[in-house]
Structure 1
Amino acid sequence: MERLHADDPREAGPYTLVARLGAGGMGAVYLGRSSGGRTVAVKMVRPDLAVDGAFRDRFRREVAAARRVSGAFTAPVVDADPDARAPWMATAFVVGVSLHRAVAAHGPLPEDALRMLTAGLAEALVGIHAAEVIHRDLKPANVLLALDGPHVIDFGIARATDGTALTSTGSVIGSAPYMSPEQALGQHLTPASDVFSLGTTVAFAACGESPFGDGASAAVLFRVVHTEPDLSAVPARLRPLIERCLAKEPERRPSPREVIAYVQGLAGRSDPRLGYGDGPRADRPAEPAGWLPDPVAAEVLALRTALGTPPEPDPTVPLTGPVEDLVPPPERRGPGRRKLLLGLTGGALAVAGGGTVWALNRDGSLAGDGSGAGGGGSGGASGGTPGPSRPSPDSVPDAKLTWQTKLPGAAVQVLPGNGIVACVTLREVVGLDRQGGTAWTVKGEDHGMYFSAMSTTALRIAAVDGTRLYAAGTATATPTPGRSAVRAAVLSIRLTDGKEPWTATLDDQGSAGVLGFPGVRGGRAYLLPLTMDESGTSEMAVWALDLGTRRTAWLHKARAMPVFWGLPRSGGGLLYADTERIVAVGTKGTMTWSKEFKAALLGAAGAYFLVVDDHGTLVAFDTAKGTRAWTVPDVVGASRLGDGVATDERGTVAYVLVRDTDGGLSLVALDAATGKARWRRPVPADAKGSPAPGARLLYADGNVYRIGADGMLWAFDAANGAPRWKYGGFKGISATNLAWAAGDRRLCIADTGATTVAALDANGA
């Protein structure tokens, strides 16, 4: 916890704010006390977001959804005022260690604790579903192991079961390893989806890892939909229940009450720790933390001490809460680079009901999931020079939307061209005209395919080349011996009217869908299919599809899942990076060179591949030989959504973000042939406390576009880096939930967690 700063509020309604727990993209979370001693976590919305009507509406809906849920195993809302000048929400303050952290630090839970966990989660779902709410993000990081049992937190993406508010078919949001198959496919959700997530969460607690494995979200989602989970480490008596919870068909899963009954049958009603029934839980553990393994219980008890022995709270609100990183375990190690790249890091501090994540600094203070220092919030000093003074965000004019509209489902990608914006959802492609009206719709099912199950990942699934749109995904096929009934496929349509369709499939190799689409160059489409041999073993590949003959030009087998890639404008082939190396693939599909290299960004400009290592050094490699041509220090790596480097239409200039000595960022235009800076301009600072998701840049129509860490959109003059306009309508939404594309004199953007698509003119007017 931190002491209050001078600019911090001192009160929220009837609560006195006594300490800051941390700050994030939406605002700050405080430890609050009522006059009667009740301890709560108070979430305060940032002042700049409080005046945003659309954001205030989203916050009001979040409060309404969270208020509908209350029970012994949740962290309920105890008070809120979404209409206040500074909107706020207070939730029960629950001190507990997240399940994710407990398992990572102390190993899988023993069988008796697993029974308590399973029944406790099921009872939480009884209360959640009784309120006609679907949680949609039940996972180990959102389960707190407290002294009185497990608690389910974070209803930030929970939705009403009647389909109101932000719920819509095709809207995919959540955490890949714990999604249900129907959630991964963007289908209509029922409460049974949460039961599937309960099964994966308990399996994690028993096994120490997701039952569908680790890796890139796209590959994990494929396994969730098409393969069986690994439950070998789940205790034999619990395994039949977890198998039923993980049934692919929702109707085959047990209800939460059936889960409780099953666990009661295993433990026997004489077990004093299992008081589950039709109403609220009757019993509590006889011993403090008696249901938890000793190391976990010791950590929870230490947390209570770390809170500084606060005044006794109201007994109806348990003093528990996710301040777990106040007491790090011995010899704690930071997250691995692979987890950071794939956005799968866990643990740290999650404020109950608020969903804010915090980590412990080396000096013992709490900080948000980004430093929030200067522009971009990347933090950290560097050897770069700051250049001219950093412009104030208030000095940059605000742009106006050209249009904004709603789609039938969430768009995972938007692609402008030829007067149309193609919006790709999991089930269809919708073409919008210059005014945002629907010009045409092409349904995937009419062509025997769906486009992808990976809207939570960075990988693209469509591309535009000239007058044609190409959308990739999974197509059904006639089963053959040793081959599955699905294939990697591409659907091509005319961009202007959605007509003249044709499809191509990867028929000469067993495959199970396309997980990414690097792009189209020189008459070939380059895709990333998941291939399968006759034994059912899967591996990633790079597929070059000749668009003239609609046949495979070549197929390159990859050793690991590509995380980033670069596609030259000419010459054929591409470069991809997995978590350990970079691999150059030539025009015939053979590996021309490779290097052990931990890439944090990858692109291409002129005659070079551009790669940033995990220390921030950008290296230009010759595309043919892999020799180093030039380097640039202090370059910011890409976000997990890519877009870390932008190039002009000829590929002669590369635009990157670099770190300045004041902790902020500058936009730099690099000559692609020499690496020398043509100009360097500091960018305006992102909102204080914003996370640092990495660089996201685009070039089009003489502008360099950037998504800030706080969701602000920026347009800079490509000739000199001067800021031209900004747009804040997406502030408060995580930058990693925004899909965007530029061209055809406009910037188009979609919220992948909702159904909103918007367009801005290139000049901001």
Structure 2
Amino acid sequence: MSLRGSDPAEIGGYPLEARLGSGGMGTVFLARTSSGRPVAIKLIHQQFAGDEEFRIRFRQEVAAARRVSGAFTAAVVDAAPEAEQPWMATTYIEGATLAEHIAAAGPLDGVELRRLAIGLAEALRDIHRVGVVHRDLKPSNVVLSAEGPRVIDFGISRAADQQTLTMTGRVIGTPPFMSPEQLQAPRGVGPASDIFSLGTLLVYAATGSGPFDADSPYMTAYQVVHEEPSLGAVPEALRTVVGSCLDKEPAGRPSADDLLVLLRDLPADLGGAGPTGTRAGRTRDVITQHHDALPTPVPTAVAEAGTADTGTSVGRRLRNRWRPVLAAAVAVAAIAGGVAALQSGDRAGGDGGDKAGNVAEPGASLPEGFTPWHKTVAGGRADIPDELRCVARGEALFCGGGGVVAARVDARDGSLAWTARSPGVPVHGASLAGATDDTVVGYRFAAEDAPQAPQSEVVALDAESGRELWSAPTGAQSTAVTGRNQDAVVSGSAVLMVDAANSRLEARNARSGEVTWATPFPSGTRCAPVLAGSRPLAMCAPDAELAESKVSNPVVHPLDRASGKLGRPVAVRGPAVVAGDADGALVLLQEHWEGPAITGYDGIARVDPASHEVAYARLKDTYAGTPGMAGGVVHVSGATGRITALDPVTGREKWARQTAVEGASGPTAGEGALYFSSPTGRVVALDPENGKILWSTDPQADGLTGEQGASPRVTLAGRAVVVAADNNTLFAFDARNPPKPG
């Protein structure tokens, strides 16, 4: 919708472009950051600005949304809860809401329904892990984006460890999707309430009607508390799982983690609605459009329902249904020797997992005296949940990222030799630049109270002692050009980087910091250094396209290592980001855009710096996720755990495998195995030939799985698998004896 005459031109310095919608709490606008990134800004209605109770709720919403930033939620970009008219900006997620989709096209079925169920369960897992209860999960708060479902609007959520706001005589929510306890005693609502809401939402998604469907919100609320759900039209495969979510007693419902196990155990195609379900056309919206998270009076019958006996009917039977299903799933995993092999949607065939004990056995040996270990490396900022990245040099690991310029860790036992800390707020994804035999190179970011210091610097440290050898300011954030936050690379004994003015490429001796050459960017462009194997290249983009945050015409130049001379430019059809290299060629994935949003990758470009030629291959689908390369093969790790291997020459899909590692980065190649891992430290090893799951582990750290585009988290020190996870966590184990699930 276009802006109205009464709408502001900007909010908080963000120019407004369009009106996305308006509800009971406020109006949502499409806006842009200074870099051109689209954001959604919720501006609270003026009549609520003076209501202190409402301001408290809005502050809670902002705090809750800041704590949640998983793959299936909208991250907070900026907010001003204390402004005269409060507002909050979040990542703009393009797509119809579930309510809009079903009203226009009818219920979901098959693979689409299963994908929605798993995505929403993962969203709740991420939400609950940071101590937040959403409390208003409903179809209008679920956006069906190209990357999967996203949960939005934390307007009435609360942190589980905080005091619930008292609102005498009122509950807040949408009755058809509220839990019995939310209607009866909202102060006691916990994560199980969201599970109940998810159950009602999945029934609605599958049939077009809710499990408690009445002509008024009051009768609906009564049914939620007293009556059994109507599930006859729900596909049979999903019915038992949904029934467990709708247990009247919170203790009888599965947790979000349990629910994920149940959902992933279901067949890939759930089928459609049963004989009484709606299959197409316009469906009832279960009063969703009329209850925009506004206070709803609680009918007397419901308010007194706490003494009702609900334990004698189907509700009692539903209460324990999920437990035997979960037990069966665990038993299957145990029979398979503890291998967590998830089969759904497997296009590669096979059994998905090896027999007990038959795991990848790299030929390399363990570091002498190795024992499994777990370590936290303290950074310069305790309030930033950093992730490190490591390189191995014999028995030494050099790790850096976020609040750590670099640290030396003993690969044998995890003991720390030294740590150099960074005091400022890091650029997301900027980690260790690299290492030579005697020098480690990382990044340092200036503290907010040191305005005279360079905002970001490349820093070289002595590998043995951690002593700083030299530092030089750098002005680039290479993500805009290459898709990677790598403003410096180590090439042989040199560090290739961008100067502080963001105007030229420099080569510095890694040990002394001496500038050996400096090459200005071609006119009207910005560049970043990249490597194709050991060959240095410069990838450049026009200033005008960088200003629009969409690089459509990148250019790759061969770069003479000795003189810095730029070779003949090779133009690439974009937008494209660096995936890796194969046979001396730089491999780029071509981005697929829909409106202002990137929905994935739909092509591959291979730039040969020797012949100055570029070859293209189209992909049969658009693949969303984190790209990486190993063994000359492109791998894309989807947010929900699906990993796809693609031939960089033909673009053909070699194999695809569903895993339990959501938001994985990788791959890291070992002998006979590819390793992928998530911010939680969950690791999976796959056979590089067919994607067969060799083994996988449980999480080892608290972390959110939302980041995409992350660099590989696994480093191999001989046969030792070293994994970086959220909150500066490192842990290591023997590839032949990985931690067993459970």
**Structure 1 length as normaliser, TM-score?**
0.46
The higher-RCO structure (CA 8 Å, 6+ apart) is 1
